[in-house]
Structure 1
């Protein structure tokens, strides 16, 4: 795997981990409960937190649920 591809994978993992940390900080211990209560597909949300299949559209939707701007989310990432 090339260095640039490794860097991309690292960033994706950081994004997914940060989303998980935000969910936990909001009191959602289960990703399934979070997905259900916010009308997200459970499997799709699991993939996001696992670093798989993160689309910009879905990321923006999740950030909107958490009331976090894109700028704030990526700050210190």
Structure 2
């Protein structure tokens, strides 16, 4: 049998992780302990929302849906993200 190679984990850009962390923090502050319940409540794909909180690529359209759910502008969202 051939030995399986370990696939290296992709290291995410720290800026992406700051955006992902903020999305999670906003959801929790809104009272949602479950990302699934938040996504369902606001008509966002559960998988897409989960990916966003984990820092994988997503569309601006998806981000805007989430900001609409939080009644937040782009400026407000990014004001404390360097």
**TM-score of the aligned structures, taking structure 1 as reference length:** 0.86
Runs in 1 of length 4+ with deviation above 3 angstroms? none
Distance 1:53 1:32 in 2: 18
Equivalences for residues 18-29 of structure 1 within 5 A: 18-29=22-33
How many pairs were matched up? 71
**TM-score of the aligned structures, taking structure 2 as reference length:** 0.81
Cα shift at 1:54: 2.1
Q: State the Cα deviation string for residues 17-50 of structure 1 (Å, max 9, x = none).
A: 0010000000000000001111111111100000
Asked if 1:9 is matched to 2:13, the reply is yes
Cα shift at 1:57: 1.1
Asked if 1:70 is matched to 2:74, the reply is yes
Distance 1:32 1:16 in 2: 15
RMSD: 1.4
**Structure showing greater Rg:** 2
